[in-house]
């Protein structure tokens, strides 16, 4: 399934801007009518103005409906992201309202044009056009809340990551300020911001690294807190969506240093919750900030330091081995989805 290009969702005009665009285009169309007989010229002008205004309304509204991704075609991960970010039900209902308004505008144009054909005076032509404009304005006013909601939702959705399901994906999770963004920066081409205070990652971020022409995606999730699901905010729910529905492997970071901002007991409780939530994908538990650790390494413990680049290349190799997407059993057959051409613009993928 191809990745969703959230950044390509079109700008949503304000309700009055939609009307101004429709009626402005209609006035231009009226000026293009040529007929020496005033009676026929005015009738044609009013007919064309109503049709033009309706066409603009329909085109604008249907463009929004068509260019916003359909929830039915999204992956479980993307649907979960939409639900956490803006809500799937409002998403569907508000787009459906635009479809309804587009159809109403078409019906108004047809009714008005039929009425104009039956009229026999110039003043009646003008009144029919003004009446149609009033009805169209009323329709747009009726769906103003939905249009404004979509405009706000667009600004949120454009920040969501675009994940390609045909390429391997690593999800990085853990409590706030355990070094997730720093690890992403050390491993990949991603350039997530890092700061030394809790809740530094305000949304999901996507980084990449390449191995044998294969692009490995890394998702940096917002710091999760050790608290019940119902108490979590939308940012945390986005992270849960990534954990439940995305990735070939999960890397869980533990900060055991004395400078940690979340007690190790709470971090371990969160790890237990995630292990119960995710049972079908490998979970690799990593101790971060090894440069600040003074205790001896426990048996089986993996330590890294993104600051000093300690253990990073070994972790990268281990991730590749666990995912083993390019394992070659037959030297004459390339692995599934093997990239034969490399033409990647990383800026379009973050």
pLDDT of residue 139: 97
Q: Locate the DSSP E strands across 111-156.
A: none
Q: Which residue has the tokens 């064309």?
A: 48
For the domain 169-348, what is the CATH superfamily, name and number? Answer: P-loop containing nucleotide triphosphate hydrolases (3.40.50.300)
Most confident of 17-21, 160-164, 335-339: 17-21
On the question of pLDDT at 238 being above 60, the answer is yes
- pTM of the predicted model as reported, rounded to 2 decimal places: 0.74
CA–CA separation, 3 and 14 (whole Å): 29
3-state SS of 1-64 is CCCCCHHHCCCCCCHHHHHHHHHHHHHHHHHCCCCCCHHHHHHHHHHHHHHHHHHHHHHHHHHH
Helices (H), 177-222: 180-187
Beta bridge partners of 129: none
Domain ranges for the chain, please list them.
Answer: 6-157, 169-348
- CATH topology of 6-157 equal to that of 169-348? no
CA–CA separation, 23 and 21 (whole Å): 6
Closest CA relative to residue 215, chosen from 251, 250, 171, 164: 164
User: Residue 28: how many CB atoms within 10 A of its CB?
Assistant: 10
CATH pick for 6-157 out of 3.40.50.720, 1.20.1250.20, 3.30.450.190, 1.20.120.1190: 1.20.120.1190
Structure confidence by residue, pLDDT tens digits, 266-283: 999 989 988 887 878 899
CA–CA separation, 48 and 116 (whole Å): 11
- Angle of helix 122-142 relative to helix 88-118, nearest 10 degrees, comes to 170
pLDDT of residue 350: 43
Structure confidence by residue, pLDDT tens digits, 117-158: 999 999 999 999 999 999 999 999 999 999 999 999 999 898
Radius of gyration of the chain (CA): 28
On the question of pLDDT at 336 being above 90, the answer is no
On the question of pLDDT at 83 being above 60, the answer is yes
pLDDT tier at 306, thresholds 50, 70, 90: confident
pLDDT of residue 49: 96
On the question of pLDDT at 51 being above 50, the answer is yes
pLDDT of residue 220: 80
pLDDT tier at 206, thresholds 50, 70, 90: confident
């Amino acid at each position: 399934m191809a990745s969703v290009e959230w950044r390509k969702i079109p700008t949503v005009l304000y309700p009055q801007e939609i009307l101004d665009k429709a009626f402005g285009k209609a006035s231009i169309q009226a000026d293009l009518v040529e007929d020496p007989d005033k009676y026929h010229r005015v009738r044609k002008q009013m007919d064309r103005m109503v049709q033009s205004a309706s066409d603009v309304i329909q085109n604008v509204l249907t463009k929004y409906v068509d260019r916003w991704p359909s929830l039915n075609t999204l992956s479980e991960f993307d649907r979960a992201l939409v639900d956490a970010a803006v809500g799937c039900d409002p998403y569907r209902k508000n787009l459906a309202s635009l479809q309804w308004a587009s159809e109403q505008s078409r019906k108004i144009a047809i009714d008005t044009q039929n009425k104009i054909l039956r009229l026999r005076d110039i003043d009646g032509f003008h009144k029919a056009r003004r009446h149609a404009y009033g009805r169209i304005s009323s329709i747009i006013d009726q769906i103003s809340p939905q249009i404004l909601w979509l405009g706000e939702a667009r600004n949120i959705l454009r920040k969501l990551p675009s994940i390609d399901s045909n390429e391997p994906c690593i999800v990085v999770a853990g409590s706030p300020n355990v070094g997730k963004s720093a690890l992403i920066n050390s491993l990949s081409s991603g350039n997530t911001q890092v700061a030394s205070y809790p809740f530094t990652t305000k949304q999901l971020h996507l980084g990449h690294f390449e191995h044998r022409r294969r692009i490995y995606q890394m998702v940096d999730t917002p710091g999760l807190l050790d608290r019940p699901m119902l108490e979590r905010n939308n940012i945390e729910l986005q992270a849960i969506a990534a954990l439940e529905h995305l990735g070939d492997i999960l890397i869980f970071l533990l900060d055991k240093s004395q400078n940690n901002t979340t007690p190790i007991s709470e971090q371990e409780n969160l790890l237990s919750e995630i292990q119960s939530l995710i049972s079908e994908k490998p979970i690799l538990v990593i101790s971060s900030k090894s440069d600040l650790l003074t205790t001896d390494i426990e048996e089986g413990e993996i330590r890294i330091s993104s600051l000093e680049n300690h253990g990073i290349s070994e972790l990268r190799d281990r991730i590749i081995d666990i995912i083993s997407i390019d394992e070659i059993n037959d030297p004459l057959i390339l692995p599934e989805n093997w990239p034969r051409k490399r033409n990647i613009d990383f800026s379009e993928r973050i």
